[in-house]
Amino acid sequence: MTSNNLTLTANNSYSQALYELAEESKDLSKVEDEVNSILKLIGENTDFRNLIKDPTIKKDELMQVVIAFSKKFNLSDIFNKFLCFLVNKARLFYLEKILKDFLIISSNKKGEIIAKLKAAKQLNEEEINNIKKDLTENFGANLKLNFEHDPSLIGGLIIQIGSVMIDTSIKSKLQQLETKMIEA
Same domain as 64, residue 117: no
Domain boundary among 86, 108, 130: 108
Residue 111 Rama label (left phi>0; alpha psi -120 to 50; beta): left
Backbone CA torsion sign across 2, 8, 14, 17: negative
First to last CA, the chain: 42
pTM attached to this predicted model: 0.71
Domain boundary among 108, 132, 154: 108
Expressed as residue numbers, the domain containing 84 is 3-108
Same domain as 87, residue 10: yes
Same domain as 100, residue 26: yes
Q: Rounded to whole angstroms, how far apart are CA atoms 11 and 101?
A: 8
Query: The domain that contains 65 carries what CATH number?
Result: 1.10.520.20
Query: Total domain count for the chain?
Result: 2
Same domain as 93, residue 125: no
> How sure is the predictor about 112, in pLDDT bands with cuts at 50, 70 and 90?
confident
Same domain as 83, residue 42: yes
Q: In the predicted model, what is the mean pLDDT of residues 49-73?
A: 92
Q: Rounded to whole angstroms, how far apart are CA atoms 157 and 164?
A: 14
> In which order are the strands placed within the sheet that holds 143-149?
143-149, 113-119, 157-161, 164-167
3-state secondary structure at position 143: strand
Same domain as 118, residue 47: no
pLDDT of residue 62: 93
